[in-house]
Structure 1
Amino acid sequence: MQMTPAGKQLLLRAGAELGLNLEPHIPQFSTYFELLSEANQTTNLTAIRDEAGIILKHFVDSLTCLTYPGLVEGMSVIDVGTGAGFPGLPIAIVQPSTQFDLLDATQKKTAFVARVIQTLGLRNARVLWGRSEELAHQSVKRETYGAALTRAVASMATVAELTLPLIQVGGFVLVQKGAEVEREVAEARGALSKLGGQLEQIFHLKLPIIGDARTLVVLRKIAPTPHQYPRKPGVPAKNPLS
C-alpha cells in the first residue's frame, strides 16, 4: 500500500507542528510506509496498520524525540528495542549526519529494519540483532554511545539497566513514555544511582494533530556503570533494580 497524497499532507502538517520541514524526506517516508504495510501482511511487526496511525503514532511519534535539544546532528546513538525501526529510523531519515545503531532481539524485526535501511539507502543507520544485556558487556560497545533512545514499555528501572551501560559518561538516555511517569521515575531513583545515572528532565508533550499525551524522560549518565550491570538476559525485566 502506497502513502496517499492525504497521508503525505498529514505528515507534513504534523512535522510542521514539531518545527520540522519534512518535504525533502517525503519520498523516504513514503517508501518506509509502503515497506511496513507490505511486511505487516505476512509478519506481525506492528498492531497499528492504518495510514494515519502509522504516520502519526509511528513516524511522528518517533520524531517527537527531536523536541529534546540535546539530540543533535553528528552524535552516535543506539535505539534499544527498535522493533520495526522506531524511534530510530525516522530520526535517521531527518538527521543524516547522526549515526544510528538499531538493536532488537527479534530476528524478523531486524531483518525488516535491514531491508528498510538498504532500500532507503541510509548510510547513517545499521541494524544489530541481539540483547542489550549482552551487547553492553562487549568492550567495543560498552559506554561508547553519546545517547540511547527507547520507546519503553518496561519499567524505568529496567530501561535504565538496559541502556545506561551502553552510554558514555556525560551522555543521555531519551525514554519515550505515556502520560504518567512521575511515580515510575521516583521508584527508579535507586536503580539510577547504582547504574551511574540520574534523572535530568521530564518533558510532557502532545502528539501533533491528534493531541495524545506523551512524555520524554531524560536520564543523564554521570558516572561509569559498575561492571556487573546489566545482569544476565531477562533478569532486568523480571527483577528490576531498586
Structure 2
Amino acid sequence: MELTATGRELLLRGAVALGEELSPTIHLFERLYAQLTEANRQINLTSLREERDIVLKHFLDSLTCLASGLLEGPLEVVDVGTGAGFPGLPLKIARPSLRMYFLEATRKKLRYVEESCALLGLGDTAFVWGRAEQIAHQPEYRARFDRAVIRAVGSMGQISELCLPLLKVGGYLIAQKGPEVARELEGVERGLRPLGGVLEEVKELELPESGDQRRLVIIKKVAATEPRYPRRPEAIARHGLF
C-alpha cells in the first residue's frame, strides 16, 4: 500500500513542527510505509492500520527522540525491543550517520527490520536477536553503546535496568514515555545508583497534529553498572529498582 499525498504532506508538515526537514528522505519513508503495511498482512507487526495513525504514532513519534539533542554525529545506538523498527528505523533515515543496532527478542520481527534496512539501503546497521536481560551480560554488548533508545513499555525502573548496562560511561538512555511518567520516577535517584545512572531531564513534548503529550526521559550513565544487573526477567518484574 502506497503512502497517499495526504499522508506524505502530514509527515512533512509534522516533521517541520519537530524542527526536521524530511524532503530529502521522504522517498525512504514512503518505501517504509509500503513495506510495513504489506508485511503486516503476514505477521503482526503493529495494531495500527490507518495511514494517519502510522504516520503520527510510528514515524513522527519516533522522530521526537531527536528533540533530546543527543542523536547527532556518528554514534553507536541500540534500539532496545525495537519490535517493528520503532523508533530506530525513522531515526536511522533521519540521521544516517548513526550506527543503529536493532535489539529484538522475536525473530520474525527482527527479520522484518533487517529486510526493511536492506530494502531502504540503510547501511551501518546491525541486528541482535535476544532479550535485553541476556544480551546485556554478553561481553561484546555490555557497556558498548553511546546511546540507547526505547519506546517504553514497562516502568522506568524496569526500562533503566534493561538499558543502562548496555551503555558505556558517558552514554545516555532516551526513553519515550507518556505524561504519567512522573509517578514512575519516585525514588529514581536511589534506584539508578547501582545501575550507574542519574536522571538528567524529563523533556515535555507534544506530538504534531494530534496534540498528544509525550515525555522523553533522559538518563546519563555516569558510572559502571554493578555486575549483577540486569537481573532475570521475573526478578525485574517482581522487584523494580524504583
Give the TM-score normalised by structure 2.
0.97
CA–CA distance in 2 between the matches of 1:29 and 1:217?
26
CA–CA distance in 1 between the matches of 2:125 and 2:3?
23
Cα deviation, residue 41, structure 1: 1.3
- Whether the 8 Å contact between 1:117 and 1:126 is mirrored in structure 2 is no
Q: 1:9: which partner in 2?
A: 9
Structure 2: tracts of 5 or more residues without a match: none
Q: 2:202: which partner in 1?
A: 202
Q: Alignment partner of 1:170: what SS?
A: strand
- Whether the 8 Å contact between 1:144 and 1:167 is mirrored in structure 2 is yes
2:57 maps to 1:67: no
Q: Alignment partner of 2:180: what SS?
A: coil
- Whether the 8 Å contact between 1:201 and 1:217 is mirrored in structure 2 is yes
Which amino acid is 1:10 matched to? L
Which amino acid is 2:128 matched to? L
CA–CA distance in 2 between the matches of 1:73 and 1:97?
6
Q: Alignment partner of 2:179: what SS?
A: coil
Q: Deviations over 1:171-205 (max 9, x none)?
A: 11000001121120124333211111010000011
Q: Alignment partner of 1:215: what SS?
A: strand
Q: 1:170: which partner in 2?
A: 170
Cα deviation, residue 239, structure 1: 2.9
Q: Alignment partner of 1:86: what SS?
A: coil
Q: 2:181: which partner in 1?
A: 181
CA–CA distance in 2 between the matches of 1:188 and 1:212?
25
Which amino acid is 1:97 matched to? S
Cα deviation, residue 157, structure 1: 0.6
Structure 1: tracts of 5 or more residues without a match: none
Q: Deviations over 1:47-102 (max 9, x none)?
A: 11110100110000000000111221211100001010000110000111110101
- Whether the 8 Å contact between 1:79 and 1:148 is mirrored in structure 2 is yes
CA–CA distance in 2 between the matches of 1:199 and 1:105?
27
- The within-5 A match list for 1:65-144 is 65-144=65-144
Q: 2:212: which partner in 1?
A: 212
- Whether the 8 Å contact between 1:158 and 1:241 is mirrored in structure 2 is yes
CA–CA distance in 2 between the matches of 1:135 and 1:35?
28
Q: Alignment partner of 1:77: what SS?
A: strand
CA–CA distance in 1 between the matches of 2:205 and 2:60?
13
Cα deviation, residue 234, structure 1: 4.2
Percent of counterpart pairs with the same letter?
A: 46
CA–CA distance in 2 between the matches of 1:180 and 1:15?
25
CA–CA distance in 1 between the matches of 2:187 and 2:25?
40
Q: Alignment partner of 2:100: what SS?
A: strand
After the TM superposition, which of the residue ranges 125-134 and 92-101 deviates more from structure 2?
125-134
